[in-house]
Amino acid sequence: MARSRTGFWLSVPVYAAVVALCVAPLLILLAYSFFQVSFVAVLKEPTLKNYVRILGSETYRWLILKTFGSGLMVAAITAVIGYPVAWFIAKRVVAAKSAFLTLLLVPLYTGDLVRIFAWRMLLGAEGVINTFLMAIGVIREPIGALLFSSLATHIVLTYNYLPFMVLGLWLAFEALDDRLVEAAADLGAGATSTFRRVTLPLTLPGLVAGSLMVFVMVVGDYLTPQLLGGASGVTIISAINDLFGTAFDWPLGSAIAWTMLAILALAFAGAAIVISRSSLGKALAAGEA
């Protein structure tokens, strides 16, 4: 009795921190999303007008769609690149495994801005790639579209978040028992069939985890599109930023933020259902039973 009460009081700071740092700001945002702005004052009368405005605005709908589209695309590209890389590190590298993983993570130590400016030097009109291509005579004029374009944004987003995808998949491959692959071959499965029936289903959790991480980080990335996207650099995140800053429309900004959150939550729930319905999810559930 006394002990459990002590436990309760000891855990209070933890709960307090979670509420203060995570829940409270979101709730404040939620409250604001139902308010309205009149000149420079916030009218604290509940209304759905902000949400109606978002749904009615082609610009906002387009920006939200574009942001999620970027997230999906980068998640897909990193998955395609990361899958063989993770397989290689987990199953083919023996001695230098930690070296490979460190190498993979090195870019993350340098910070966003440094990485972005490094890419500017690579992609710019007088950058490494254009200079090289002109030197060997492939092109006469520098390719302008390399920098300050949607292409540049997505190249760098892919580069930035690839390590997270690889890490998620690497863990899944480490957990994959090679003997299962041998068992599949023993039973007559060729390479493709083994991949489809054994390797892919058993690494699916890593693929889903990696994709979710990459997706969320791409959706929330503000700097990369801003500094590399040029005219295409406007995103829903930068729009929210403008609303909170120069436009001083906190309620609308809050409403957009919550719309994004709601869509994300739905996507997560959908993914969770897909996984739990898959044969793998059932296997996991059976293991816990």
Please identify which residue in 104, 147, 155, 184 interacts with other proteins, judged by CB under 8 A: 184
Question: Whose CA is closest to 45, among 246, 262, 251, 253?
Answer: 251
Question: Whose CA is closest to 78, among 198, 221, 244, 218?
Answer: 218
Shortest spacing between CB 281 and other proteins, in angstroms: 9
Using CB under 8 A as the binding rule, whether residue 179 contacts other proteins is answered as yes
Contact at 8 Å (CB) between 228 and 120?
A: yes
Of 264 and 280, nearer to other proteins (C-beta) is 280
250: tokens are 């906190």
Using CB under 8 A as the binding rule, whether residue 80 contacts other proteins is answered as no
Shortest spacing between CB 206 and other proteins, in angstroms: 14
Number of residues that this document lists for the chain = 289
Number of neighbouring beta carbons within 10 Å of residue 185: 14
Cα–Cα separations (whole angstroms), residue 195 to 172, 176, 198, 203, 208: 14, 12, 6, 10, 17
Binding mask of the shown chain, residues 191 to 230, with x at each position contacting other proteins by CB under 8 A: --x---xx--xx----------------------------
E strand segments, 92-209: none
Please identify which residue in 45, 58, 126, 186 interacts with other proteins, judged by CB under 8 A: 186
The CA distance from 90 to 93, in Å, is: 6
Using CB under 8 A as the binding rule, whether residue 183 contacts other proteins is answered as yes
Question: What's the farthest any 2 CA atoms get from each other in the chain?
Answer: 82
Using CB under 8 A as the binding rule, whether residue 174 contacts other proteins is answered as no
Using CB under 8 A as the binding rule, whether residue 279 contacts other proteins is answered as yes
Shortest spacing between CB 184 and other proteins, in angstroms: 7
Using CB under 8 A as the binding rule, whether residue 289 contacts other proteins is answered as yes
Please identify which residue in 96, 187, 261, 274 interacts with other proteins, judged by CB under 8 A: 187
Of 133 and 185, nearer to other proteins (C-beta) is 185
| One-character DSSP codes across 219-231 | HH--HHHHHH-GG
Number of neighbouring beta carbons within 10 Å of residue 121: 12
Shortest spacing between CB 97 and other proteins, in angstroms: 19
Question: Whose CA is closest to 158, among 78, 76, 66?
Answer: 78
| Contact positions vs other proteins (CB under 8 A) | 177, 179-180, 182-190, 193, 197-198, 201-202, 279-280, 282-283, 286-287, 289
